[in-house]
Amino acid sequence: MNTPPETPTGPLDGNAAGGILGDLFAIEITAATLICEGCGAFAQVGAASVYGGRMGVILRCRDCGKAMLRMARTRAGLRLDMRGARSLVVDIAHA
């Protein structure tokens, strides 16, 4: 497995965003379920399409392509934007 490459070469799997998401979330978030606001599809974060590089990532729905989650390292700090996701469901007993 490799980090999202510096030169975008197409999406990776949501699993590749585990590191940057781990900067914020205390639990393993790639096993959580993300529900797309665009089409209602639900899938594990690890199965979403990931675009990005060193500065941050965008997770897109594999079904409709809608951007569901963006996370970036900015000068002000970590910035999480979840417009595009209906909800994030975490099985806390197994997280």
Partner 1 sequence: MPATDGPAPLPRRLQWHIAEIADIIVETPRVKSLVLTLPDWSGHMAGQHVDVRLTAEDGYQAQRSYSIASAPEASQVALTVERIEEGEVSPYLTQDVRVGDRFEIRGPIGGYFVWTAAMDGPLFLIAGGSGIVPLMAMLRHRAAANGKTPATLLYSSRTYDDIIYRAELEGLAAQDKSLKVTHTLTRKQPSGWKGFARRIDREMLQDTGFPPDARPRIFICGPTPFVETAAGILFDFGHGRHLIKTERFGPTGG
Between CA 82 and CA 95 the distance in angstroms is 20
Three-state SS for 30?
helix
- Segment interacting with partner 1, rule: CB under 8 A, options 28-36, 69-77, 79-87: 28-36
Minimum CB separation from partner 1 for residue 52, in Å?
11
CA distances from 54 to 19, 20, 61, 93 (A): 11, 9, 21, 32
Nearer to partner 1, 18 or 84 (CB): 18
Contacts to partner 1 from residues 55-94, by CB under 8 A: none
Least distance (Å) from partner 1 to the CB of residue 70?
19
